[in-house]
Copies of this chain bind each other. A is one copy, B any other.
Amino acid sequence: MQLNQATDYAFRAVLYLANNTSQEIIPAQTIADAEEIPMRFLLKIMRSLIQNGIVKSYRGIEGGYALAKLPEEITLLDVVQAVEGPVHLNRCLIDPKYCSKNGADTCAIHEALENIEKNLVSGLRNRNFAELVGKTQNN
C-alpha cells in the first residue's frame, strides 16, 4: 500500500525540471546529483516518463532532459501512472476475475473500494507540478 521508490524519484526529477524555469535542457547527472538518485536508475525511470509524454530527452553533448509540457499540465497521477501503471487499490478492481466468485456488482467490498480508489485517483490528479514549483526547495 505504498508508492515505490522509483515513483518518488520520478516526482523529484520532474519537480527538478519544473523548477528550472528557463526551460534549459538538464543532463541526468545533474538531476541525479541534486536529488541523490542513483544515476543509472534515474535514466531508466526517465524513459518511462518519456514514453508517457511527460519529459523529452536530447542526446549528445549538451543533451539531457526537459519537461515535454507545462508544469501545470503534469499531475502527480501522470507520474504515478507512467512509472507504476494504473492505480488500483485491490486486484478485483483490475479484473473482476480476481473477485473470488462473481463480479463487481455482487460484491460489497468491491463497491466500497472502488469508491475509495476513485477519490485517491482524483486526489493525485488534482495536484500539478506548477503548484509545487518554487513553493520550497525540491528535495
Contact = CB atoms under 8 A, between A and B. Distances in A.
Interface of A: 1-5, 7-8, 11-12, 15, 35-36, 76, 80, 84, 87-92, 99-102, 105-109, 111-113, 115-116, 119-120, 123-124, 127, 131-133, 135-139
How many copies of the shown chain assemble into the complex?
2
12 contacts: A2-B88, A2-B89, A99-B139, A101-B137, A105-B136, A106-B136, A106-B137, A107-B138, A108-B135, A111-B135, A116-B120, A119-B119
B116 A127 contact: yes
Contacts of A116: 76, 120, 123-124, 127
Contacts of A36: 100-101
A1 B80 contact: yes
B102 A5 contact: no
